[in-house]
Amino acid sequence: MIDLHGYGPRLFEGAMITIQLGLLSLILSLVLGLLTASAKMSRSWALHRIGTLYTTIIRGVPDLVLMMLLFFGGQIGINQVTDWLYYQFDIDIFINVNEFVAGVLTIGLIFGAYMGETFRGAFMAVDNGQIEAGRAYGMSNWLVFRRIRFPQMMRHALPGLSNNWMVLLKTTALVSVIGLSDMVRVAAEASKATREPFTFMLIVAGIYLLIACVSEWGFARLQKRYDVGFGETN
């Protein structure tokens, strides 16, 4: 059996943090992605510009730099705001940027841009006649979105979403650099302490592959569900 030198439980906790971080930032990025896609497709010039600026900047700068900017800069920025509140209005609050929250916010913000591009492409692939038919039935904008545009868009978006999720999962490893004890950080510490880098790094690599495998299976099932009525004839 592999000797983990007592790092087993911490490694497990690290894996849990990785999974939680991944799922929470996935949800945030999906919400941001939908908003960005709507902004970029809207008739409003300002919204379109904001959406484009967001996706361009985020996709042009490395994840790690953005993460450090938001994590190290975020605390100073928040302190300045709370100081200002204190001097101006005598409101005394203290907000400490927690690594986990910072990680979720940064990764969500980064992948919101990628999701936005995926969603935009998928929304544009939905036949316009479908939307017009919905309107002709007297459906409200929201109802058209919920019953017609969203379900049909998902069919086109899923391959892209699956891809983004895989990249997102691997990006969570970067939070170990800003001090969050995810499984990569635990493994790095354990490697240095026990001088057995292969054992710990290979285990972590194996866990990432396992999560990727499970996600692949899950996405295949989702695809099947959204492909109803379009799938191959068999």
Partner 1 sequence: MESLTTWIEGLLANNDIFTLQTLSYYGEGLTTTVQLVFLSLIIGLILAVPLAIGRGSKHQWIKMPIFFYCYVFRGTPLLVQLYLIYYGVVFIEGIQDTWLWVILEKPFVPALIAFTLNTAAYTTEIFRGAIKSTARGEIEAARAYGMSWWLMMRRIVLPSAFRRALPAYGNEVIFMLHASAIASVVTIMDLTGAARFVYARFYAPFDAFLFVAAIYLCLTFSILYLFRYLEKRLLAHLKPSGQ
CA 44 from chain centre, in angstroms, equals 26
State the nearest-atom distance from the C-beta of 154 to partner 1, in Å.
Answer: 24
Residue 101 or 212: the one with the smaller Cβ distance to partner 1 is 212
The token pair at 192 is: 């240095």
Binding site for partner 1 (CB under 8 A): 57, 59-66, 68-69, 72-73, 76-77, 166, 170-174, 176-177, 184, 187-188, 191-192, 195-198, 201-202, 204-205, 208-209, 212
State the nearest-atom distance from the C-beta of 165 to partner 1, in Å.
Answer: 12
| Burial (CB count <10 Å: 0-12, 13-18, 19+), residue 103 | buried
State the nearest-atom distance from the C-beta of 17 to partner 1, in Å.
Answer: 14
State the nearest-atom distance from the C-beta of 91 to partner 1, in Å.
Answer: 24
The token pair at 44 is: 């409003």
Number of Cβ atoms within 10 Å of the Cβ of 110: 25
Q: In angstroms, rounded to a whole number, what is the distance separating the alpha carbons of residues 78 and 81?
A: 5
Residue 152 or 172: the one with the smaller Cβ distance to partner 1 is 172
Q: In angstroms, rounded to a whole number, what is the distance separating the alpha carbons of residues 221 and 203?
A: 27
Picking from 122, 208, 103, 224, the residue whose alpha carbon sits closest to that of residue 165 is 208
Q: Side-chain half-sphere of 181: how many Cα atoms within 13 Å?
A: 10
Residue 155 or 185: the one with the smaller Cβ distance to partner 1 is 185
Cβ-based neighbours of 113, under 8 Å, separated by 6 or more: 32, 33, 36, 54, 55, 58, 59
State the nearest-atom distance from the C-beta of 46 to partner 1, in Å.
Answer: 22
| Burial (CB count <10 Å: 0-12, 13-18, 19+), residue 209 | exposed
Residue 47 or 201: the one with the smaller Cβ distance to partner 1 is 201
Angle between the 183-194 and 197-226 helix axes, to the nearest 10 degrees?
160
Residue 150 or 219: the one with the smaller Cβ distance to partner 1 is 219
Residue 114 or 145: the one with the smaller Cβ distance to partner 1 is 114
State the nearest-atom distance from the C-beta of 168 to partner 1, in Å.
Answer: 11
